[in-house]
Structure 1
Amino acid sequence: MRKHITGGLLAALLAISVTAGGCGSRESGDMVVEETAAEAAYNYDSMEMAEEAAMDMAPRAEMKMAAAGAAVADGVSDGGLSANQVMPEEISADRKLIRNVSLGYQTDQFERFTAMLQEETAKLGGYIESSDMSKDAYSSIRHAYFELRIPKEKLDSFLAGLDGEANLLHRSEYTQDVTLEYHDVESRKKALETEYDTLLRLLEQADSMDAILALNQRLSEIRYQLDSYESNLRMYDNQVQYSRVSVSVEEAKILTPAAESSAWDKIRQGFKQNLEDVGETLAGLGIFLLSSIPTLIVLGLFIAAAVFIIRRIIRRIRRKKEQKKEQKKEQKNIQQADGAEENAPADKPENGPADEN
């Protein structure tokens, strides 16, 4: 009989889980009927009545599962949204909007402007999410990048305070509407909380190890999902309440005018910019040469040694070639001299010996 009671309890648990997960935020009287049936199964005075209640609960659990599945299917087929999602017309006028602004500035007072950015952010109740500053090794031009979070109600005041403080190069803004996503997560969270409370009441009445283990496992799963949903809601709240402002700052000796009035102004500005670029290039080249003297010395010694060795090798090769030529020439002369001696006729006296009278 205890097995029958456990089977009935598990069937009721499955029906509650499917109904709570599938029907989302529909907190109707069906859940109350299921809870009453589950509690009644444990309050019967005799084991026979408990067994009958458990056997009677199983078919109803299957009916609830089928009804929940049909409700989910209807929700998807009607509007493309599942039952635990929120229809657009059901959302209140309090929309969840995330504002993002990107700014690019050029200034000849780098330290003053970057300090003002940080002071204004703190004064308006915002904070610096990230910052990065760098300096060019050759031109000494500094760059800065800030990710600021400004309260949404003070964003316009912050942007107005930056007007005229530096040369604005670019500005872009876009708004992201996360109202549907926010209310969808909120609806799922409420459905899980309802299921969690119901399972806690069933756990207090459970008297078998199988039922206790099954309930505890499902409760652990629900707690994990609730933590995830709460984290998502906190993230959305932070992004909505604190607008993101990305600011890039570049130091410049000659500011780029925002609007040019004539062609002569463009020529003059371009000429100044080119002169500045040439000066920075020459300065960078000088710094590179001076800082590279040790490397250049070692490289020069290596090249000189290589040239010296190569020249000695070339000289040796030339000497050997000249020696070979001289040897061949001497051998040729010797051969010619030997040939001349062999070909020369023997010397005969022109007049024979005088007759003796």
Structure 2
Amino acid sequence: MKKIILLMAIFLLAGCSSANEDYKVALPESMEIMEMGEMSAGGGYAKMADSAPRANSAMPDIAMPNRKMIKNGNMNIETTAFDESIDVIFTKIEELGGFIESYSVYGKGDTFNPRSAYMQVRIPEEEFNNFIDDTADFGVATSKSIDVQDITDQYVDTELRIKSLETQRDRLLELLKEAGTLTELFEIEKELNNVIYELELAQGSLNKYDSLLDFSTIDITVREVYEYVDAHPEPVTFMDRIIQAFKDSFKNLFAVIQSAIVAFVLYLPFIAIIAIIIIILIKVFRVKKRK
């Protein structure tokens, strides 16, 4: 029993030592002297955004060797052809080798309840910028944003942990062959099961990192509109301001009239009931007055 405990202590110390050595080997020199430029002080995130009217790329191509960067995007699209825009987006995703994780549609598609769709898609990392920038066929992009998360440290730590756990597993398997008693066998198997469990968790985390690195996530919201509202230029002269105010007043008046008509139709049954009650009360009052 003392022999087994001594051997286990030796291989655990050796495993920790080897993990430290692996860490020194795994980190390239470029990572130690590399400056992240626009990265935040914590080294965690870099955030960039681009509005639709601008023609430049939403995300410039920045070379970051030896770094593990997860890209996430967000897009808001307005369209007068809702069904066609959805079809074009689906086709584009398929052409780029991506896939749709979730998709939902809200609204009835009429004048007072236009439709809106939300989808979360995964695009191959090398096609991410092209998809974000090329939105002309989707409709009018009212906003775009990109988040970039640097997970290099987490990725390297997970790789080193896997190597260390694999070393522990292999040594426990050797000790298992040398176990002389049932007690020793039980203790070694218990420790081996714990190591295998931790190894599976670490490997799962690494696989998830690889998936997020290979396929970037983009959240897309598509809203149905019946006309595109272009922002008019700011009035310069006094006369321009008067003309613009005159146009806005007519638009507002038309909107108020529409709302009043809709409200009247909506409450017409209640208005009719109230009118009938008032007429009955008036007749009753007149009969009583005659008596």
Give 1:251's match in structure 2, choosing from 207, 217, 224: 224
Q: Give 2:263's aligned residue.
A: 285
Provide the TM-score with structure 1 as the length reference.
0.58
Aligned to 2:12: 17
CA contact (8 A) 1:152 1:240 kept: yes
Query: Which residue matches 2:38?
Result: none
Contact 2:76 2:220 in 1 (8 A): yes
Larger Rg: 1
Q: Aligned residue for 1:8?
A: 3
Higher relative contact order (CA 8 A, sep 6+): 2
Asked if structure 2 preserves the Cα contact closer than 8 Å seen for 1:104 and 1:249, the reply is yes
- Aligned partners of 2:17, 2:254: CA distance in 1, in Å? 68
Compute the displacement of 1:21 (Å). 4.1
- Aligned equivalents of 2:251 and 2:76: distance in 1? 19
Aligned partner (choices 144, 148, 151) of residue 124 of structure 2 = 151
3-state DSSP of counterpart to 1:254: coil
CA distance in 1: counterparts of 2:247 and 2:83, whole angstroms: 25
- Map 1:59-74 onto structure 2 (within 5 A): none
Tell me which protein shows more strand as a share of its residues: 2
The answer to whether structure 1 residue 139 and structure 2 residue 134 are counterparts is: no
CA deviation digits over 1:230-255, x for unaligned, max 9? 11011111111111111111111121
**Post-superposition shift, 1:143?**
0.7
User: Structure 2 vs 1, CA of residues 96 and 83 (structure 1 numbering), >3 Å: closer, same or farther?
Assistant: closer
- Find the aligned partners of 1:241 and 1:196 in 2 and give their Cα distance: 29
Shift of 1:163: 2.7
Q: Structure 1 CA distance, aligned partners of 2:192 and 2:262?
A: 67
Corresponding residue SS for 2:134:
helix
How far off is 1:96 after superposition?
1.0
Q: Which residue of 2 aligns with 1:234?
A: 207
Do the aligned partners of 2:122 and 2:218 also contact (CA within 8 Å) in 1? yes
For 1:244 and 1:269, how far apart are their aligned partners in 2?
A: 43
Q: Give the stretch that moved more between structures: 13-22 or 87-96.
A: 87-96
Match of residue 352 from structure 1: none
Say how many residue pairs are matched.
241
SS at match of 2:141: strand
Q: What are the Cα deviations for residues 208-250 of structure 1, in whole angstroms up to 9, with x where unaligned?
A: 1111111101111011101111110111111111111111111
- Inter-CA distance 164–119: structure 2 relative to 1 (3 Å threshold): closer
Matched letter for residue 151 of structure 1? P
8 Å CA contact 1:108, 1:252 repeated in 2: yes
Other-structure match for 2:21: 26
Task: Give, in whole Å, the separation in 2 of the partners of 1:280 and 1:131.
Answer: 34
Which of residues 77, 81, 86 in structure 2 aligns to 1:114? 86
Classify 1:266/1:196 alpha carbon distance in 2 versus 1 (closer, same or farther; 3 Å).
Answer: farther
Overall identity of the aligned pairs, in % = 23
What SS does the corresponding residue of 2:226 show, helix, strand or coil? Answer: coil
SS at match of 2:188: helix
1:192 aligned partner, one-letter code? L
Q: Which runs of 5+ in 1 are unaligned?
A: 1-5, 28-81, 312-357
TM-score (norm 2): 0.70
Q: Cα RMSD (Å) of the superposition? A: 3.7
Tell me if the contact between 1:84 and 1:184 (Cα under 8 Å) persists in the aligned partners.
Answer: no
Is the deviation greater in 275-284 or in 215-224?
A: 275-284
For 2:248 and 2:135, how far apart are their aligned partners in 1?
A: 27
Unaligned 5+ residue runs, structure 2?
35-63, 285-291
Distance verdict in 2 for CA 1:181–1:207, change over 3 Å? same
Alpha-carbon offset, residue 130 of structure 1: 1.1
Q: Measured at CA, do residues 207 and 253 of structure 1 come closer, stay the same or move farther in structure 2, by a change above 3 Å?
A: same
Task: Decide which structure has greater helix share.
Answer: 1
